[in-house]
Amino acid sequence: MNIHEKLRQPESRKLEFKREIPARLTELMKTIAAFANGAGGELIIGVSDKDRTITGVSDPLMLEERISNAVHDSIEPMISPYILILNIQGKEVLVVRIMPGSNKPYFIKSMGLEKGVFIRIGSTNRIASPQICEELRRQSLGIAFETEMDITKSADDFDADSIADFFHHIGQKPPKREALVKWSLLKKNNGDYFPTVAGLVLFGNDISDYDFAGIRITRFMGNTMSNIAETREYSVPILPKIEEICRDTAYFLRKESYLEGIRRLERTIIPFYAVREVIVNAVVHRDYGMRGSGIKINIFDNRMEVISPGILHGNLDIADLGTGLSECRNRIIVRIFRKSGLMEELGTGIVRIYDLFAQKSLLTPQFFEQGQFFKAVLHQEKA
């Protein structure tokens, strides 16, 4: 994307505009640290953030040095910004480019590690919670929360029938513990076997302290959340319940009639593929380190919403959805879903959803980050 295309873009997780820099650079440093803690980003100085008027900057070389020194003095671990000076419409603009950091979390030294870690939520900078700081540390180490073992549980906390069904589906015999270790559903520690978070989410035997991994469907009357018609809840094990969850969601959606030969049949207005895809995506890509909330499927007269804990993982941005790009937060869960036939190739699902909605002339699906949550909205109305 060239600079002229960027000037037409809204501010986002990876893009911010500044007409000028403030006398105190703390706010600027928060943005730079937040970019490094997330998917990277660009700070463009000399452009109005309201109407994209190009105002330019005076003495860009001095400004470049000032920003570089401030980053070095203010942020830890060290960040090396890449700063460009561009001439646009006869005015000089500064572009501060920050790559995703490899030593997260980055923080403002003067504020300390406890209060100085910032993350990017949409176009704003937010102080990271202790939970998010832990996730940033895991990212730096290349560790996913799903791989953590739960030493309060044992292999006896698995639902044996669910595991047997999965291995039968993939053409393997009922597994012994070593086989579960190879699938990262168990981990061995000092001779004992402990289940991983992924193992308990997919195959746990209705464990109360894993309620956070559950899914709730709520049917609302009308187009607001003021009147609940019905609620259904699903706890772990999640894998064997996915088809049921998708069917129950479809039950609450609006239907249309169509002919197949001489028979009149009924189907959901929203293509069932899209229903299934957004639910599966929510399960496999959510942040299981966020234990305060589960996945919510909200169904209204005019739309369906799926809300899952955790913003997009890694270097992905909302603008990347539908381009075929994909990053994986929970590799174990993704692998098992693909082996189960519940997922196709990574990165292709959103593209197909857009195509299906266009074919039926439905309003374009929406995907966005809302606080620390990701939301998918599928409309039941024509464009």
- What is the average per-residue pLDDT within 303-326? 86
Nearest-angstrom CA–CA distance, 303 and 307: 13
More confident residue, 141 or 73: 73
Question: 146 lies in a domain?
Answer: no
One domain for residues 13 and 104: yes
171 sits in the region (left: phi over 0; alpha: psi -120 to 50; else beta) called left
Question: Residue 176: pLDDT above 70?
Answer: yes
When pLDDT is cut at 50, 70 and 90, the band that residue 264 belongs to is confident
How many folded domains does the chain comprise?
Answer: 3
Query: At 219, is the secondary structure helix, strand, or coil?
Result: strand
Report the CATH number at residue 79. 3.30.950.30
Question: Residue 265: pLDDT above 90?
Answer: no
Domain carrying residue 167: 151-207
Question: Residue 149: pLDDT above 70?
Answer: yes
Nearest-angstrom CA–CA distance, 336 and 198: 10
Nearest-angstrom CA–CA distance, 31 and 36: 9
One domain for residues 263 and 328: yes
Query: At 90, is the secondary structure helix, strand, or coil?
Result: coil
Helix axes of 349-359 and 272-285: crossing angle, nearest 10 degrees: 150
Question: Residue 112: pLDDT above 80?
Answer: yes
Report the CATH number at residue 344. 3.30.565.60
Q: What is the pLDDT of residues 223-241, one digit of tens each?
A: 999 999 999 999 999 999 9
Nearest-angstrom CA–CA distance, 36 and 38: 5
Report the mean per-residue pLDDT for the chain: 93
One domain for residues 241 and 338: yes
One domain for residues 10 and 110: yes
